[in-house]
Amino acid sequence: MVTDRFCNGDTTNDVNFGRTKPAAKFRGFEGGDIKGVTKKIKEGYFDRLGVNALWLTPIVEQIHDGTDEGTGLSYGFHGYWTRDWSALDPNFGTEADLQELVTTAHAHGIRIVLDAVINHTGPVTHSDPEWPSDWVRTGPTCSYKSYETTTACTLVANLPDVLTESDTPVELPPFLLEKWKNEGRYEQQTAELDAFFKATGYPRAPKYYIIKWLTDYVRKFGIDGYRADTVKHTNPEVWMALKTQCDAAFAEWKKAHPESVLDDNPFFMVAEVYGYGVSGGRNYDFGDHKVDYFDHGFDAMINFEFRWDADKDYAFLFGKYAEKFATTLKDVTVLNYTASHDDGNPFDAKRVKSFENANKLLLCPGISQTYYGDETARLLVVDDATGDAKLRSPMNWDAIEKDASTQAILEHWQKIGRFRGRHVAVGAGTHTVLSTTPYVCARQYAQHGISDAVVIGLDLAKGAKTIAVTGVFKEGQKLRDAYSGQETKVKKGAVTIDSPFTVVLLEEVH
């Protein structure tokens, strides 16, 4: 979710740092905050969706002023324009708010994934100074013709690029030291940095300062993972260092908070390597250089190919991903999406295929990332908004309450999401096609002491339908259709479900 656009849980923090200039459509702060996310967790919104992890856009302190990149005045509502990694932006909330979010999420079995930005600072404005020249470069702009012209460059004009390739020690920026002194945090922040560099042996290079600040959110609050931003623009060794330090910080937090530990799962990191797709296997190809980011600290990669594959039928889509995970991507995984905060070509931009969208995204092998409002057909084409602002409209809570069609879409996403959440086989199991017309497949998982099996039927006839389950479920076994709620038994290798729906989701009744 875009934190600022999801839910406003505290209207008293809506304006800070004099951010009162009129912004372009959906380019200013709209009021969403950490408390709003916590509120929706407490209400059970994510439980009903089957969600087990929440990825929030960055919540660290943003530049104080706005800037115009050619689309009108914009503020850092999205979180990618950092001014101070060591502090939360008051528009998003306080450290107490963040702690409550993590604690509440964990109580619901939900993990918190924050967004890590190491590649760049925020733009320079009248109120926001440029970081020193031994910290950042201000040119050239990336041309993407090679590895070097993708990493040693700025993404756009006026977005200073951190010298992440450098190991040269640097001093902290004077403006940051002055800020900490004014806030009464100078002694604590500098003492923590001294301890970090002494413990790690790292040189005081820009990347290691930022890694220290990012790992603080793991060590202090127990966040469960990071989605790493603009990964291909930074030397891959940076990410391995971040993962190493996050693992150490996560272990520290678990030791200090045994009552809050969900399980023994390690810290999770997923990479945004813009343009990466599953057809590339483990590698991303810069043209003159290939990098396997799975070997540089990442558990998963965001898959930019899925939104195009979603235009194909179920047989192609599910078969392709099952084949990839059995071969070139064996033992790793990817994060699939159909819409996101910065992909200008989402699947179903006009929201006319919301039921199909849920089927394809939530029932495909791999990780499924629902972008806030996918489940409610939130608009992705907005009049008067330009560029990525179209993708970032406020969550359409009113439609859930007042519109019957939105309620029906949400209920569909909830049914499939909860089914997926109960069954590891859906995302990680072996895929078998049982029928092509109508489409029926099985997913079976047997690893790590876990045994799970499901049968999925899509585009079935309304009314009575018979589904063969031989090889998946035993004769006489009691099953439930998670979509209609009906229960049945396997007779002669098949089950019959009589429902007004075209979807059947078969699971064993225990």
As annotated, the active-site residues are: 229, 272
Beta-sheet strands, E only, within 305-415: 333-336, 367-368
Measured CA to CA, the distance from residue 199 to residue 245 in angstroms comes to 11
Tell me if residue 434 falls in helix, strand or coil: strand
111-116, strands of its sheet edge to edge:
53-55, 111-116, 225-228, 268-271, 300-303, 333-336, 367-368
3-state secondary structure 123-175: CCCCCCCCCCCCCEECCCECCCCCCHHHHCCECCCCCCEECCCCCCCCCCCHH
**Calpha distance 378→489 (Å, rounded):** 39
Q: DSSP H helical segments within 327-433, as ranges?
A: 354-362, 397-402, 404-422, 424-428
Which residue shows structure tokens 């996050």? 246
Q: Please report how the helices 404-422 and 354-362 are oriented relative to each other, as an axis angle in degrees rounded to 10.
A: 10
CB 164 within 8 A of CB 154: no
What's the half-sphere exposure (Cβ side, CA atoms, 13 Å) at 217?
A: 28
